[in-house]
Structure 1
């Protein structure tokens, strides 16, 4: 397979692309940016929260060890990606609907449970289980438990884990400028999937079905 450079805006939902050596999956377009997630997790697992964290809202993604790990990965190892990031709010509503943690701005971060459910059909499975940014509940909830956050097993199933457990890896998600050039694998004489119209793709699907049709 050959690689071809094209604008991120031309990459289709669910299609993979590479930027600064990192493979991503495009999830959706949002005005002048595109939301994408790493095709796989980072190599090392980490805790959601530090053992010695002094704050009480331990499953609040904002300010967590997980958020610092993801941002450090981006800033220190991939400045080219960092320069293309568009800062956007992340909805930290907990699973029981508590909104204590608000919608802070984020650079690179984890997926929320709502984002995971919305895009699951195009999310590839990962080599390691990984954290989400969504907490179970907050300390102000009647059934308060600020030590649980959601995560995804390697088989795609949802789980809630203790924030001090280092069994889950970060999987960076971020908004990128739609105008940047990214690399995609090409098909058929150097053409990328994004180069084909919807009609071309439908015609090709019908052609393949007809070629394998056996009336007997």
Structure 2
């Protein structure tokens, strides 16, 4: 068995029966940052394509979003919660507004800043995917149009804006804990360490 931090940025591997791409083997959070090689869409039973906005009318705030709720549910149901480190997601808006603050989650979606940083290693997906970055931190009543807009990434890897009430795919990311996961060298398969 080998330490997972020996994976190189851009290298694909399997974890929990999903294909992942290593973005940063020595992330400042203390582990390996990875993103799924394929987005979760309608054809994935765990996480259908969905609206960013939640049922209560909260629109482009990732903290209260439907997408974050889905990722939170799958943390335990799909990944068992073991082997993952919490990551702080900075919800700064595209215009620099920090009204939404930060959240800390073990499974998350990338922000625009993270996407820019790791762009060369992220696959071009066949569909539009959500980021955690709002275009503008707006009040849903007084700034209805702005409060709807979330930054997305299209199939060409370019940023776009989309209404939080629309449906896009979700590309989960996580920080794998090298203290509780090993790499099976021959297969590039990450598994939990037996105690």
Same fold (TM over 0.5): yes
**What whole-Å deviation, never above 9, does each CA across 1:46-101 have from its counterpart, x for those lacking one?**
10012x3144xx2110121011112223321232xx21110121111000000011
Structure 2 counterpart of 1:21: 17
1:121/1:70 CA distance change after superposition, 3 Å = same
- Report the TM-score, using the length of structure 2 for normalisation: 0.82
* Larger radius of gyration between Structure 1 and Structure 2: 1
Deviation of the 1:43 alpha carbon: 2.8
Structure 1 counterpart of 2:105: 106
Deviation of the 1:13 alpha carbon: 1.4
Kindly indicate which of the two structures has a greater share of residues assigned to strand. Answer: 2
- Secondary structure, aligned partner of 2:62: coil
Deviation of the 1:7 alpha carbon: 2.1
The CA distance in 2 between the partners of 1:53 and 1:77, in whole Å, is 26
Q: Is 1:47–1:165's contact at 8 Å kept on the other side of the alignment? A: yes
1:11 equivalent in alignment to 2:15: no
The CA distance in 2 between the partners of 1:91 and 1:34, in whole Å, is 18
1:153 equivalent in alignment to 2:154: yes
1:169 equivalent in alignment to 2:173: no
Structure 1 counterpart of 2:95: 96
Structure 2 counterpart of 1:36: 34
- Report the TM-score, using the length of structure 1 for normalisation: 0.74
The CA distance in 2 between the partners of 1:30 and 1:77, in whole Å, is 23
The CA distance in 1 between the partners of 2:138 and 2:33, in whole Å, is 31
1:106/1:178 CA distance change after superposition, 3 Å = same
Kindly indicate which of the two structures has a greater share of residues assigned to helix. Answer: 1
1:19/1:183 CA distance change after superposition, 3 Å = farther
The CA distance in 1 between the partners of 2:101 and 2:74, in whole Å, is 24
